[in-house]
Amino acid sequence: MRQWMIMLLLMAVSSVVVAETWQSQVERGAATHNSEVVALRHWFHANPELSNREFNTAKKIAGELRALAFDEVREGIAHTGVVGILRGGKPGPVVALRADMDALPVLEKTGLPFASKVTTLWEGRETGVMHACGHDAHMAILLGVARVLAGIRADIPGTVMFIFQPAEEGPPGDEQGGAELMLAEGIFEGDRQPGAVFGLHVFPGPTGSIMYRPNGFMAAADYLEIIVKGVQTHGSMPWSGVDPVTAAAQVVTSLQTVVSRQMDISRAPAVVTLGTIEGGNRGNIIPEQVRMTGTIRTLDPEMRSIIHDRVRRTAEAAAATMGAQAEVIIDLGYPVTVNDPELTRAMAGVLDWASENRAEVVPPIMGAEDFSYLATAVPGLFFALGVAPDPLDDRVVGVNHSPYFYVNDQALPVGVKALAGLAMTWLSTANSE
């Protein structure tokens, strides 16, 4: 009996040593490769490309993975996506890590020395191109993880899939793209199907902090378009036609009641926003129609359906009060980004470790992410990484999608540790079950 107790004790000590070994290896690797990760982030930031046009970005990523002697590097998935396969030295399951690649049609105003100078045509207008949502940081962090894990591949108990995804901000025009298309093209099929997928997004929170929550973390996002149709006439004689501008104003005002007065928002938050409104070409002509576009954000599937119905009903009724007609178009977008509750609970300690106990459960975020498709296919965990400037830095900083959006490079090693730690912890746990 005593010999068995000694053996069990030795086994327990051995497992702790192994765990401490890979943690120390990850910490050392994150520190060793930090300058390279920062340089990669600056390169991506200075060379942004729009959705489904990430050609140079993809070439850069594939080259980095091949230089690390990855077992497989596949390009051209969902147009420009890249998938790298790193097989560990020990048998085990597959875990996936994901970063998005695309930039936004935003003219950068940060004044950074590596600020984007790229311009392009977007919907017929010349505009700047900027990594205004932090995808440059996501790619650099994941390539940092690739460096760290490639350096300890002999100790990896399984396979790590690195997903670099295009078109997270949505494919242009009638094109397909993003995580949904990558799945349709088979990245999770057969023996490549992971048991879990992890990802992160940078936000202007305290640098190096981590924010997450089980279940619904980020909202579903649906496209809203409303065309208010009237009868064109002279601006001096509105009674001889039907004014869609005034009717559109009624629609805008009435839609504000859908969430605030028609939904039980104690159940889950929701947002209905109209972001554009256009109609007419002269001040003395009442136009034939007005077109508005917007977004609907929800965190509850049943509420999502009810809000769609009530937006249609409210818009049509509001326009009718002015004698106009409203055509309402709602296209389903990204579903709710759901963090698997069991996986989140099991991995919470890793987030604490990576952030030095600065990880916290937060309220849901009304932004949307097409990581949601990956987390629908397999259990997923998506978290936010704080990247705000240092407290004494008085620069102008905006939220994601702002021309002033800023990423503090000091947060990058926390992201590298978190993703590498999640992969190693999940593989080690899965192998022990």
HEC string of 310-379?
HHHHHHHHHHHCCCCEEEEEEECCCCCEEECHHHHHHHHHHHHHHCCCCEEECCCECCCCCHHHHHHHCC
Distance CA 420, CA 340 (A): 19
Token couple for 62: 């594939």
Structure tokens at 430: 């899965």
DSSP conformation class of 1: -
Q: Which of 27, 54, 100, 102 is catalytic?
A: 102
Exposure of 185 by Cβ count < 10 A (0-12 exposed, 13-18 middle, 19+ buried)?
middle
Q: Cβ distance 205 to 359 under 8 Å?
A: no
Q: Is 102 a catalytic residue?
A: yes
Active-site residue flag, 394:
no
Q: Which two tokens stand for residue 162?
A: 């690195």
The maximal CA–CA distance of the chain, rounded, in angstroms, is 101
Active-site option among 168, 169, 369, 370 = 168
Question: Rounded to 5 degrees, what angle do the CA atoms 384, 390, 391 make?
Answer: 110
Three-state DSSP at 294 gives strand
What residues act catalytically? Answer: 102, 168
